[in-house]
């Protein structure tokens, strides 16, 4: 088992080096040909000097962006120049708030729907229609009614994280084993105790799966939402750096989005492990 992990790590490292190597080779500055006889000064005037830039950034240049941003992650030099930690913090705060509100709505509602076959059927058409709507399609409505870009961003996160949680909670609650419910019934357990001590723990793994999916979607959506609403956040940062044509920074931001997304998923994976029971 350990040697398998070790081997996998070695192969991962090799793949990474191979990727960086290929990237480096592909972005090597091309030898300026055809200008051999020309005046160096003229060449410089034409912008074709020794240092050739403007193509896809080579790994070294991106590496410098990593060092620059990670060395000082929390500076704040005005609206268009903030440290990466601040930008990520803004995004995480939006995702966290929207997600939290979605939990508050989806878990109790899913619980009620899951307990009642009647309500499950009654709510089903709405869920089926609302679920496939791209969360960003809500943006104009949100901006018009909420009149605040920041709140609209949070609303978009809310609306996109609610569905997987709602569906999974309802499904988890509806499929709690009959036997466990019957045990609670024969013991005349009151409804509140039954909900918290039997149904909730029985459905917890399914509910947590829903939360994990929701969090994944929320992190995907926040980048796009922030590109639209602007101001702060990692999505805005990406768009801002694109406007600056600073591709190394864009690549840096993309990597950060991936790393934070992975960490969020790991946290939910751990939570899922905590509530999973072995039968």
Q: Which of 186, 243 has the CB closer to another protein?
A: 186
Residue 263 has phi, psi (to 5 degrees) of -60, -45
Whose tokens are 């790994």? That residue is 59
- Euclidean distance between CA atoms 272 and 253, whole angstroms: 28
Q: How far is the CB of 193 from another protein (least distance, A)?
A: 8
Of residues 147-206, those binding another protein (CB under 8 A): 177, 179-180, 182-183, 185-189, 193, 197-198, 201-202, 204
How many other CB atoms are found less than 10 A from the CB of residue 41?
9
Interior angle at CA 48, CA 44 and CA 50, nearest 5: 80
Contact between 278 and another protein by CB under 8 A: the answer reads yes
3-state secondary structure of 189: coil
Nearer to another protein, 23 or 180 (CB): 180
CB nearer to another protein: give 157 or 207. 207
Q: Is the dihedral of CA 10, 14, 15, 16 positive or negative?
A: positive
Q: Binding-site residue total for another protein (CB under 8 A)?
A: 20
Q: Which residues, 237 to 256, sit near another protein by CB under 8 A?
A: none
Is the distance from CB of 151 to CB of 138 less than 8 angstroms? no
Q: 44 or 183, CB closer to another protein?
A: 183
Please, which residue, 52 or 185, has the CB nearer to another protein?
A: 185
**Chain positions contacting another protein, by CB under 8 A:** 177, 179-180, 182-183, 185-189, 193, 197-198, 201-202, 204, 275, 277-279
């Amino acid at each position: 088992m350990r040697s398998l992990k070790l081997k996998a790590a070695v192969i991962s490292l090799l793949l990474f080096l191979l990727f960086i190597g290929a990237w480096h080779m592909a972005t090597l500055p091309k030898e300026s040909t055809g200008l051999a006889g020309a005046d160096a000064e003229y060449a410089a005037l034409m912008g074709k000097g020794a240092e050739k830039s403007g193509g896809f950034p080579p790994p070294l240049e991106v590496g410098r962006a990593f060092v620059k941003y990670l060395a000082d992650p929390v500076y704040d030099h005005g609206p268009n120049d903030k440290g990466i930690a601040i930008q990520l913090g803004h995004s995480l705060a939006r995702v966290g708030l929207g997600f939290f509100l979605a939990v508050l709505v989806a878990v109790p509602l899913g619980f009620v729907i899951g307990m009642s076959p009647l309500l499950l059927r009654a709510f089903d058409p709405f869920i089926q229609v609302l679920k496939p709507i791209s969360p960003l399609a809500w943006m104009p409505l949100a901006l018009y009614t909420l009149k605040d870009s920041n709140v609209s961003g949070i609303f978009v996160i809310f609306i996109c994280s609610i569905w997987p949680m709602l569906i999974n909670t309802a499904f988890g609650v509806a499929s709690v084993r009959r036997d466990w419910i019957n045990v609670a019934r024969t013991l005349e357990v009151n409804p509140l105790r039954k909900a918290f001590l039997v149904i909730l723990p029985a459905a917890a793994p399914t509910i947590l799966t829903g939360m994990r999916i929701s969090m994944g979607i929320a992190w995907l959506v926040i980048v796009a939402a922030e590109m639209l609403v602007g101001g702060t956040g990692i999505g805005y940062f990406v768009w801002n750096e694109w406007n600056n044509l600073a591709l190394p920074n864009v690549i840096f931001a993309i990597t950060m989005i991936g790393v934070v997304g992975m960490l969020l998923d790991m946290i939910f994976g751990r939570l899922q492990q905590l509530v999973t029971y072995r039968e």
